[in-house]
Amino acid sequence: MTLKESLMTIKDFRIDRCKKHNLCDILMIVLIGYLTGCKDFEEIHFTAEIWEERLKKYLVLPNGIPSADTILRVLAGIDGKELERVLAVYAWETFGSQIPEKEIIAIDGKTIKRSAYTNHNDESKSHKAAHVVSAFASSMEICFGQVKTEEKSNEITAIPELLDLLEIKGLIVTIDAMGCQKKIAEKIIEKKADYLFSLKGNQEKIHEDVKDFFNHELDEKYRQRYKIQSLSCEVEKDHCRIEKRDYYLCTNLKWLAEKDEWKNLGAVGMVRSHRMTNGSESTEFRYFITSLKDVRLAAKAMRSHWSIENNLHWVLDTVFDEDYCRVRKIHNASWRCVVAQNLNIIRKLVMNLLKGIELLVSTKKKNLTIGNKQTLCSQNEKCLLYALQQL
């Protein structure tokens, strides 16, 4: 099923006599707007008007291009759950067969900052910022799904819902300390995947036990007794920083009182990061639990988890201006959050599309960024039409 066909399955909430534009056309126009680098509804509308004759080859457009206000009202009325389903189905059908063995699926939340609304005269009309939890394939740099939550503290209940959308058999799921929960571990194992969870204060008992365990001198005798594997990564140099990471993984868990409370718990681990920046030195310790029993896989999973911050959240903010989108100008609190969440899904659909295609143009620049591809789509008709054909 193509993306356009998936969008056509979304239920139209509008009254029949009020439908001047096809729902799928409106959503496709928003997608095209982001393909060409638009930042707000006015730009999306203006770009669509410029490309109207060409767009008629792919869209119905019975009454021309919808206004910016019409686009806004439609995005405020669509059920976000249906868009989330479209994202998951499209990502899996397009990229599912390309997922490498033991791919890292990083799960993390992001708050869309400017989607909050505060009414100082009537607090009941205020609304917290929209928050979404995403699943991101680290090496592929593809978002395979997301669910929305009311706030960050609700990630614990959102993660199982997100896992239900995903095909993760044979993959490794990484989650930060917020999602370090026994039921989430059980769900991941039920879906025949592995997990790696960061440890912090929200799991105080096991966090302190693992921390105390690795505070011992890690000499040869101690390592052999508890079957501790170790791995030192190469020194990295970045922005005047020299960093060395040492990974330790303990697979003998007889000493751990909570070992049977976590489904298929295979090991506990520690990462020691030693940094030197402009002559100043610092050492940081991080701890985790995992169903993995290989230190190399655990180290890869621990390191790869941060790809969701660098290659998804950062791109949404810097390339798509998500936190500065003019959705903040909507003064209806509930509309603001719904539109922000739905736009977040559409941006991820566009990111996946642009990540997955190589535009057919002659250019000296290789490995084009998403921003480069957006520029090509806005400036080169062949590039835009090729991207549209992939939809």
Domain boundaries, the chain: 3-81+332-389, 201-292
Question: Can you say how many angstroms the Cα of residue 327 is from the centroid of all Cα atoms in its chain?
Answer: 20
Instruction: For residue 161, give Cα distances in angstroms to 66, 77, 155.
Output: 34, 22, 10
Specify the pLDDT at position 119.
63
Record the tokens describing residue 184, joined without a space.
């989430």
| 151 pLDDT above the threshold of 90 | no
Residues above pLDDT 90, as percent of the chain: 64
Quote the pTM value. Answer: 0.91
Q: Which long-range contacts (CB under 8 A, 24 or more apart) does 323-330 make?
A: 323/112, 323/113, 323/114, 324/39, 324/114, 325/39, 325/40, 325/114, 326/39, 326/40, 326/41, 326/42, 327/114, 327/115, 328/114, 328/115, 330/72, 330/76, 330/117
Cα–Cα distance measured from residue 75 to residue 33, given in angstroms and rounded to the nearest whole number: 14
- What pLDDT is attached to residue 387? 87
pLDDT in tens, 237-248: 666 778 889 999
Give the separation between CA 5 and CA 8, rounded to whole angstroms: 5
Distance CA 89, CA 145 (A): 9
N-term to C-term CA, the chain: 10
Per-residue pLDDT at 236 exceeds 80: no
Distant-in-sequence, close-in-space partners of 221: CB < 8 Å, separation ≥ 6: none
Q: How would residue 386 be classed by pLDDT, with cut points 50, 70 and 90?
A: confident
Question: What pLDDT is stored for residue 176 in this prediction?
Answer: 93
* Pairwise CA distance, residues 253 & 242, whole Å: 33
More confident position, 123 or 371: 371
39-71 tens-digit pLDDT: 888 999 999 999 899 889 889 999 999 999 999
The per-residue pLDDT for range 93-103, each reduced to its tens digit, is: 999 999 999 99
Report the alpha-carbon distance of residue 94 to residue 91 in Å, rounded.
Answer: 5
Sign of CA dihedral 256, 261, 266, 268: negative
On whether the CB atoms of residues 144 and 105 are closer than 8 A, the answer is: yes
